[in-house]
Structure formats: C-alpha cells, structure tokens
Structure 1
Amino acid sequence: MADQPTVLVVEDEPAQREVLAYNLEAEGFRVSKAANGEEALVLVAEAQPDVIVLDWMLPNVSGIEVCRQLKTRSETRGVPIIMLSARSEEVDKVRGLETGADDYVVKPYSVVELLARVRAQLRRSRPSSVGERLEFDDIILDSDTHRVTRADQPLKLGPTEFRLLSTFMEKPGRVWSREQLLDRVWGRDIYVDTRTVDVHIGRLRKALCQFGGDDPVRTVRGAGYALG
C-alpha cells in the first residue's frame, strides 16, 4: 500500500541492519536502508521518511552529525529520529537528545521495544498511519473504519482521495508539493504524472463540498496544496 509509513534504518552493521529491516517490514512498514551517514542524508533528501532509526557510531559522518544536520533544516526538522547507541552513560543520552533526537535506545535492545517506540513516534508525527481519528473544523476522518464525515454527513471518498485527505489532516496548514503528495499517497515506486495529483485534488474538493460548506483545500501558487 502506498500510504504505509516509511522507516529509514541507518546502521553500518549489515546483520543488524537486515534484522531491523526484516522486523519492520513484517510489521507493515516500508523500509529504506543506509549503511552510513552520507547515504542517509542523500536518501532523506530524495524522499523524506516518516521515522529514522539512526545508529550513533557510523563511519565518516556520525549519527549525531546526521541528526544535527536534519534537525537544523526546516524541511526535515519534523522527522522523528530514534538514536541507537551502545553508549549507555547519561551524558551520552543527554547529548543525543540535545542534538535533536526524539528518542534514545541503548544497545543491545529488544526489537519488540524498538518497534513500539517507532509506533509511538508515528502516533505523534503521522497519526492516521496508526489508526487515529483526525479532526479539522467540521471534518472527521477515522482511519480504522475508513469513514469521513463533514458536519455529521458521511462523505463518499475514493481510496486515493481518502489518503490525500488523511495526509492533509495530519498536518493542517502545511503546504505539500505535488511531488511530496505523489510520494506519500501513490508511493515512491509508482510512476504517476504530477497532473494526476491535480485531478484527485479536484475530486477531493468535490467530495468535501458535496453537502455544501467552503472548500478547505487551498492552492498555493507555485508550491502545491494545503488544508486550511
């Protein structure tokens, strides 16, 4: 499914990287993998993941430096980072969190615990991916039942329009470019023309206004679309 959350695993130990990727995929996540800091930064620039699991001890560019760079950029600041480290001292944990890491897990760790922490970060950054109910003005989206209502009237939305709306409702006010929407809604591996986004935005607008009310989807010239 295109709206599966993506987790980027940055780990230079091949065995640990594969075990993590295997367990995340088994839980329904899309996984991208990087063996070092430079590769991680390139992958994030190409397609922003929903969560990053980042090893502290990496060759050349350290995990701390990757974290610092991502957290100083406005476009990647909001991506949750879970730092993995064999350093268990309090001072190291504090340094990791002060650099901007959202969570800190000491090696050796339990994979089950790490998966729970990934889900906890997603609950904060991408609520619809973990079955949360989203609300914006008089619109309610329930990702568990796949139902949308506006002013208590049930709306009929196609699966693509549903994914578009859930993306918008996770971050009201955020401007999404057509490329970002293609990535999030259709998936990275599928070739779709950017004009297809405009067609589905049109369908979403029609569905949202089928019982009246203002169009909540805003076109931002030269940038993309936003909710509200």
Structure 2
Amino acid sequence: MIRRLALLLLCGLCALELSAEERPYELGLGLHSSYYLGELDPRGLLGRHRPGLSLSMSYQPQLHWSWTGELGLRQISARRVDEALARLGAQEDFSRRLVELRLGGRYHFLPLSREQSYLRTRPWSPYLGLGLGLALGGRSSTSRELLLPSLYLGLGVKALLSDRLSLTLDWSVHRCLSSRLEDTGPAWADYPRGAGGPRGIKAQDSYGAWSIALAWRLGKAPCTGCN
C-alpha cells in the first residue's frame, strides 16, 4: 500500500513538472521606469527615474519554468551628489540612452496555468528571474558609443487574466560588467577603477527598473471536446 502511494505521488510530481502550458508562447509590450545605482548618486530608488518601452517574448515549456527575451529602450540618468567627485572629472549630471537585449529564464513558485486545474495549478504566481543583458549606449557630447554586458536578477508576479491575456509586474536589478555606464567625460573614464579599496568610488555600475507588461498568449487552443 505504501509503495503504491509513493508511486502515485511520484507520478503526480512528474506530471506537475513536465506538463506543458496549453498556450506556451507570449508576445508583450511593457512600460518601465529605470534608475541609476552607482557611485555618482547613491540615492538609488530615491534618485531619478526615467520611463522606457520594451517588447517581450516568452516560452513556457513547463508549469514552473519559462524562457524570456526582451528588447527595451531605456534611459539612465543621475545627478552628482558628492562635490569631491568633481575633482576626479565627474560632471554634475549624466544621462545615457540604452537599447538593451535581455535573455533569461524564470522560475514560477506556483504551477502556472489556466487550463490544467486538475494539477492544482494557479492562474497567477510570483517568480524569480535570472539572465544576461547586452546594452548599446548612444553617443553623446562627452562619450563614445558603449557596448555594456550585464547580469540581471528579477522578482515579480505574473497573472493569466484570460485565455489570451497575461499581466506581469516586475522589479529587476542589472549588474554591469563595466564601470563606463556614467556619461561623465574622459577624465572620469581614465580614473583608476576600484580606487580606494573594495568600496572605492569606481566600481562596476548597476541600475534597476520597475515594469508592467501586458502580453498576448499564443499557441494551441485548449481542447474542450477531447476525452
């Protein structure tokens, strides 16, 4: 009896992990607000926020996992808050436009589906996202074009509003693999990175973003007349 119950439990868990979403593809449009996280302006969320747009695609092969891709247009700006940085060549303000491509994955903490209720699925779920980004920064009066790779971590909630529509609320932090995000001129760019020790004023830059996205769900329609 115990062996049969264990076998049934194992089969149920396998079905939960391997069952595919009936409409696994999504194409969406998002609005986001980006802010700078770096040495020039430590205010973070209390600093300057700039709006942007993004196009997103996702594929959900399993109830708990999905792959995501996003092409976004964002702007990062900040105001220098420490006058001592002026002696190192940092301008009072900087602003940079970025065209960014992100590729990553999400883990849904609840099995996400509207069609497979027999597996105790939910039409909404919080998630954890992780991936890679590559941004192209535009030319300005003080800097050249910039290619900026990054790693990002995201937290959010996704809700399946209907058979065709989904809504996603997301917060993400991007850790740049460079210290040249700031548009502050050649004097600042030439200043040694990491000066002053591990917590020195020149370090790898970061930025965060809040976003809301509405997506159209694509794929095979649910079979309502199947046995």
Q: Which has the higher helix share?
A: 1
TM-score over 0.5 (shorter chain): no
Q: Which has the higher strand share?
A: 2
What is the TM-score normalised by the length of structure 1?
0.22
Structure number, greater radius of gyration = 2
Taking CA–CA contacts closer than 8 Å with sequence separation of 6 or more, which of the two structures ends up with the larger relative contact order? 2
What is the TM-score normalised by the length of structure 2?
0.22
